[in-house]
Structure 1
Amino acid sequence: MEKFCNEHVSQSKNNLQIVRATWDPQDRVKELEEILQDASVDKVEKQFQKYVSESIEPTGWQAVWRSQNGIVSSEKLKTPLDYLVDVVHVSQFELRALVIIKAIINSSSENLILEEHNINKEVSVSLLELYPTSHQENDVINIETTTEILEQIRFFYENIMLPWDSFEEICLYNESLLRNRVE
């Protein structure tokens, strides 16, 4: 089975494709188990910091930033916004990236007017909101590995870690717990 696929994202100037990685459930459990190493809730972030620092491209790649609110804090922004960004620095300790906004994607005309002054603005965003594009200006960028890292972290926080985990006396992200939550 192909691990990587492209997802089409509309943009008025050209067509963008973001790279997505998919896993067989058993492979996902195995990889998460290797990353987390039976970590408790309070150690998960440290394990992900280590994982990010070992392999993610630290700078020089393009992505779609799927912002939940946009940058403008306004009640007029009703829908999440997508931005084309250049990643200029990844902070593995904060699991964030410093990006420069290059374009606004999939925006209504009123959101576009509110947001267009943010073009070329530098902002700090969560790694969970970044989706690498298939076309990279720098050919030496290992976008597949970067995509895998982002997808694993995103999957964990969206599907594995549950709000009540931190209230459990002992909650270890071991093979048994991971397998139960993946399946």
Structure 2
Amino acid sequence: STLTNEEIKIAENAGCILYDIKFCPCVNDVGDYHSDKLGAWIDDFLSITNDNNQSRIGMYLLGTFLAHFPKDRYNTWLPQEICQSIEENKLFRGERNESLLQGFCIECYNMVGPQCINAGRENIPLIAEYTSYAQAVKLEYPFCAEIFRCIAREFELESQTRRERAVHEY
């Protein structure tokens, strides 16, 4: 359908708001996780995005939302229910779900925030962290492991680039 200028502006504002939302489904304001609500929330969210013909955006956003599970409150970073949900959505329209993977990876990468550039050494703990997550889930949740390896590779690539710059530019 053809949208009016007002409808276009509303859609643009809604899109901006949606991309600024930072939360994990079924984690309340104080950080308590309620696993029993996760499946229904994901089903509702994906149903709404599918009904609006925004499936790819929905999968991307789902990845960003799941990346916001609080690391500091639980022994293992991602609980079994979230890993299971990621595995259940590893295929999108018969193909590997690149949108979910990209949303999760980019959000994890961006959540690190600004760092003191120290010739690439600042990323070494992050590489080890995400590699250990991949090792922990590789048998039961291979798509999750792939996502964690992707994040570790990004941090490793950035670290190598910074080391090379330190050698050649200083």
Q: What TM-score range do you get, normalising by the shorter chain? A: under 0.3
- Identify the structure with bigger relative contact order (alpha carbons < 8 Å, sequence gap 6+): 1
Q: TM-score, normalised by structure 2?
A: 0.23
